[in-house]
Amino acid sequence: MRPNRMVPTKLLMITLLTVGLASCTSDGGQNAGQATERAYSTDVLVDTEWMQTHADDPTVRVLEVGGNADAYGEGHLPGAAFLATGLLSNPDDPVRGQIATAAQVSAALSGIAVERGQTLVLYDRRNNLTAARAYWVLKYFQHADVRIYNGGTPKWTADGGAMSTIMVEYEPSDYQAGPADPEIRTTWQYVIDHTDDPATLFCDTRSPDEHLGLDVRADRGGHIPGSINVEWTAAVNTNGTFKSAEELAALYGGAGFTPDREIITYCQSGVRGAHTWFVLSELLGYPSVRNYDGSWGEYGNNPDSPIES
């Protein structure tokens, strides 16, 4: 069972109400300005100060998530282990990008000595993209405490953090993935069944050209009927960190995504979709968000899929 997400949503709505009331005050002064400030709905993002404070905490494991083990070897955050993104997808599934099985995830995390009771801090080298994908996988298999170091390697070096070339070795653990959480993932059939559901919105996190069918990466180009295109990069600052809660709420709210709807994110292989899932579900507290990891790699190649372009 998922934790009750209605509390963050309630806080979200209260905050939005507070902002609205503040904008109507007549003084327009400092109090009104402070009222417009809002925080992320959870504390799953950590900063450089947090990382430095917990550098020697044995209950915290730092994992670099990516596809370039050589870059990791040339320099990584001190004490970090390397988690290859490919280990979080199922190589036996015909759809590229589909999430790995529980056994595959258990083997991947056991290999780098992760324990289920540890706090896992994920980071990457590109706008939190692969870190967010790994976060989604770990939450799908219900690892209790997962965080993202906001900004990853670029932020660490910009803040003056030293990189390490020490390859930390651990004895393998016996990590066992938890039961899958079906409420944060969806399938092709679920998508088809909800295309005409007014309570469901689809967020296409790909580029505008992919959405319009000008950049075709499957048998057919286009998008799921009725889907709204908000490219995943719109949620990212130039330094690779996530935009503020105010900016994110305005971005997705302005596009029509509201907490009272179920939202399904998708892209080509579920990676960019996981990034937007993280923003909507974990940072803004939307109560019902699912990532379609089959995404366009599956949908666009299925002749039975209805398509708009």
What Rg value do the Cα atoms of the chain yield, rounded? 20
CA distance 271 to 124: 13
Separation between Cα atoms, residue 257 and residue 277, nearest integer Å: 12
- The neighbouring-strand residues paired with 61 are 120
Record the tokens describing residue 246, joined without a space: 């105010």
Among residues 152, 107, 157, which one has the least CA distance to residue 133?
152
Give dist(CA 182, CA 199) in Å, integer.
Answer: 18
CA distances from 42 to 23, 39, 95, 155, 244 (A): 25, 8, 32, 21, 13
Q: Give 140's contacts (C-beta < 8 A, 6+ positions apart).
A: 99, 180, 181, 184, 185
Q: Is 203 a catalytic residue?
A: no
Contact predicate 62/81, CB 8 Å: yes
- State the DSSP H helix or E strand holding residue 263, giving kind and residue range, or none if neither: strand 262-266
- Out of 45, 80, 267, 271, the active site residue is 267
Enumerate the active-site residues: 267
